[in-house]
A and B are shown apart, each in its own frame.
Chain A
Amino acid sequence: MKPIQIEVFSSPDCDRCSKVFDIVTAVVRDYGDDVAWRNVNVIAELDYAVELGVISMPSIAIDGDLVFTSHPSARKLRDEIDARLRQEI
Chain B
Amino acid sequence: MQQPGNYRIGAVVDKVGISADTLRYYEKIELLPAIGRTASGIRVYDDKDISRLRFIRRAQKMHFRLREIAELLKMREDPQHARDEVRLLTGRKLAEVEEHLDDLQYLRNELQLLLNLCRASEDGCPIIESIDRGDDRPA
Contact = CB atoms under 8 A, between A and B. Distances in A.
A50 B95 CA distance: 23
Contact of B116 (A12, A15, A41, A57): A57
A26 interface: no
Contacts of B110: 46, 50
B109 A43 contact: no
Nearest to B107: A50
A42 B113 CA distance: 9
B35 interface: no
A87 B105 CA distance: 31
A55 interface: yes
Query: For the side of the interface on A, what is the size category?
Result: 10 to 19
Contacts of B138: 12-13, 43
Contact of A49 (B113, B120, B136): B113
A12 B123 CA distance: 14
B103 to A, nearest CB: 12
Interface string A2-42: 00000000011111000000000000000000000000011
A50 B117 contact: no
Interface in B6-47: none
A58 to B, nearest CB: 11
A15 B119 CA distance: 12
B112 A43 contact: no
B113 A46 contact: yes
Given A41-B136, A43-B127, A44-B136, A53 B109 contact: yes
B130 interface: yes
30 contacts: A11-B117, A11-B120, A11-B127, A12-B137, A12-B138, A13-B117, A13-B120, A13-B121, A13-B127, A13-B138, A15-B120, A42-B113, A43-B117, A43-B127, A43-B131, A44-B136, A46-B131, A49-B113, A50-B106, A50-B110, A53-B109, A54-B109, A55-B109, A55-B112, A55-B113, A55-B116, A56-B113, A57-B116, A57-B117, A57-B120
